[in-house]
Amino acid sequence: MGTTLARYFRLPEHGTTLRTEVLGGVTTFATMAYIIVVNPAILSFAGLPIGPSTVATILVAVFGCLLMGLYANRPIAVAPYMGENAFIAFGLAAMGIGWELRLGAVFVAGLIFVVITLLHIRTWLANAVSLSMKHSFAAGIGLFLGFIGLYETGIVTSFVEGAPIGSLRLADTEFLRKPPVPVKIGDFHDTKVLLAVGGFFLMAALLCRGVKGALLIGITVTAAAGFVLGVGSAPKGIVAMPFTGDYSLAPIAFHLNVEGALKLSFMPILLTLFLMSFLDTLGTLVAVGAAGGMLDENGNFPDPEKPMLVDAVTCVFSSVVGSSTSGAFIESATGVREGARTGLAAVVTGLLFAVTLFFIPLVQPLQTLSYAYGPALIAVGVLMMASVRKIDFDDFTEAVPAFVTLVMIVFTYNIANGLTAGLIAYPLLKVLAGRAKELTAGSVVLALMCLVYYAFGLPH
């Protein structure tokens, strides 16, 4: 069995082993399993019932991970995007659009991805991004993951956390005022915060010593310590059959309005979904590739057509079963940092998601274990910051767009916003510096698309 797997996934060729790939797949699953709870909770604001939505979320992850592993042979997990689900749930709320139409938009966007991937247009656009910009994507996403980890664990928190409501008003008739500082240091008397800090330094120490499975060991030890200290919640149940009762897919599967999504008035929404997913996937591939040293000398992810086609097909599948836009997950970098280099790791992640279909009540407490998986996100953020060294800071036409990308990703709490801002700034700086000849047709096309995103789309 081991020999067959090694041959199919070409393990020796990629300098990896069966054990390393399994470890990487388990680690990736551990750091992204929260989507089983979080994604349905967010989509519930769009009107999708939580039970069926939970099953749909898991099915998309299983489908995407297995396809990525078996077809593309990449250690990258695929699941519903956590940024796009918020756009589907909240970004379109003011427009009074039903969830069936929102799923229709996801379906059409997925088909567009499939077509442009097969025509190699998607790869052409991806290769038009400069080396410095690509590495700014990786570093920016690293900072973003670090910020998510810090915020989710409570090491940093909102400025208004714990503040009396009255102190946040300028007058009785006015809304909450803007805080002078958006975030502040967290409560270091909180057991969960202290566990997160301890978990991070445990992971860091293990990484310093070159211990294999450092992140997974850190997650496990921190979670166990939390339960011992009484801050872990117990599950309300253990086993539940999927596709029946509260977990039936019937209320949402195939309930998508494709015709409405094809109307001209709906184009800005499709454009927004397209750019968000395209740039998220590009940024994720570059970031994960950088984390595992898989990029070529030009900063390109090797043979990107297959993983791009996988996330496009999975996006279509996601809309059909009743979930939001899907794609490559940045948390895959945790598995890659543990040594995963082939699709076997993605298969392992997918199989673990498949198992959770029967244990949904058991895995639901994961949403309370941010003190355990949050430190892993911070650790990966540290590792991914190495990409900053490959940004050409001596050339301001490269440094400024890269800086714009970094700060806009972190300070707008959205990957797509940062990537689009940087891609607009790049050709603008080249033109203003009198170096327009350095631009490629692809970089200009991307900039124009990003301008449309800000002018007519729905950035958030």
Q: Which two tokens stand for residue 157?
A: 């928190």
Q: Is 270 or 91 the better-scoring residue by pLDDT?
A: 270
- pLDDT recorded at residue 300: 75
Model pLDDT, residue 317 = 96
Q: CB of 126 within 8 A of CB of 300? A: yes
pLDDT of 160 reads 65
- What does each C-alpha distance from 118 to 75, 130, 248, 251 come to in angstroms? 22, 23, 34, 33
Of the listed ranges 228-242, 312-326, 329-343, 439-453, the least confidently predicted one is: 228-242
Rounded to whole angstroms, the Cα distance separating 417 from 141 reads: 12
Query: Residue 328 pairs with which residues in a beta bridge?
Result: 78
Q: How far apart are CA 45 and CA 163, in angstroms?
A: 27
Residue 335 clears pLDDT 60, i.e. is over it: yes
Helix, strand, coil shares, percent, the chain, to 5 = 70, 5, 30
What's the Cα-to-Cα distance from 194 to each of 197, 229, 292, 353, rounded to whole Å?
Answer: 5, 11, 30, 30
Could you report the per-residue pLDDT of 178-199, keeping only the tens digit for each? 666 778 899 999 999 999 999 9
Q: Per residue in 33-49, pLDDT tens? A: 878 877 887 788 788 88
The residue type at 338: E
Structure tokens at 415: 């990957």
9 φ, ψ to 5°?
-90, 0
Residue 459 to residue 91: CA distance in whole angstroms:
8
> Which of the four pLDDT bands, split at 50, 70 and 90, describes residue 206?
very high
Q: Which of 287, 312, 342, 334 is nearest to 72 (CA)?
A: 342
pLDDT of 344 > 90? The answer is yes
Q: Which residues contact 307 (CB under 8 A, 6 or more apart)?
A: 68, 72, 74, 76, 281, 285, 301, 328
Neighbour count for residue 423 (Cβ, 10 Å): 31
Which residue carries 């038009």 as its tokens?
A: 128
Residue 166, pLDDT above cutoff 60: no
Q: Residue 387 pLDDT > 80, yes or no?
A: yes
> Tokens 């938009």 — which residue?
105
Q: Is the pLDDT of residue 11 over 90?
A: yes
Is residue 172 over pLDDT 80? no
| pLDDT (0 to 100) of residue 352 | 96
CA distances to 42, 141, 230, 442, 451 from 122, rounded to whole Å, are 29, 21, 49, 10, 18
**pLDDT tens per residue across span 394-433:** 999 999 999 999 999 888 877 778 888 999 999 999 999 9
The per-residue pLDDT for 124 is 85
> Taking Cα atoms as reference points, which of 146, 100, 192, 202 lies closest to residue 330?
146
For residue 302, the Cα-to-chain-centroid distance in whole angstroms is 20
Residue 42, pLDDT score: 75
62 has a pLDDT exceeding 80: yes
CA dist 112 and 274 (Å) reads 8
Give yes or no for residue 211 having a pLDDT over 70.
Answer: yes
Whether the Cβ atoms of residue 425 and residue 454 lie closer than 8 Å to each other: no
Give the pLDDT confidence score for residue 169 in this predicted structure: 58
pLDDT bracket for residue 75 (50, 70, 90): very high
- Three-class DSSP category at 239: coil
Rounded to an integer, what distance in angstroms lies between the CA atom of residue 417 and that of residue 411?
10
Task: Please check the confidence at residue 131 and state whether its pLDDT lies above 80.
Answer: yes
Start-to-end Cα distance in the chain: 48
Tell me the average pLDDT of the chain. 85
DSSP 70: I
Q: Which of these ranges, 5-9, 219-223, 253-257, 364-368, has the smallest mean pLDDT? A: 364-368
Task: Give pLDDT tens digits for 94-110.
Answer: 566 788 888 898 899 88
d(CA 413, CA 427): 24
pLDDT tens for residues 294-305? 777 777 777 888
Which pLDDT band, with edges at 50, 70 and 90, does 277 fall under? Answer: confident
Q: How far is residue 192's CA from residue 198's CA, in Å, rounded to a whole number?
A: 10
pTM of the model: 0.75
State the pLDDT at residue 373.
Answer: 80
Strands (E), 272-381: 326-328
Instruction: Please tell me which residue, 329 or 265, carries the higher pLDDT value.
Output: 329
263 vs 345 pLDDT, higher one: 345
| Cα–Cα distance measured from residue 339 to residue 383, given in angstroms and rounded to the nearest whole number | 13
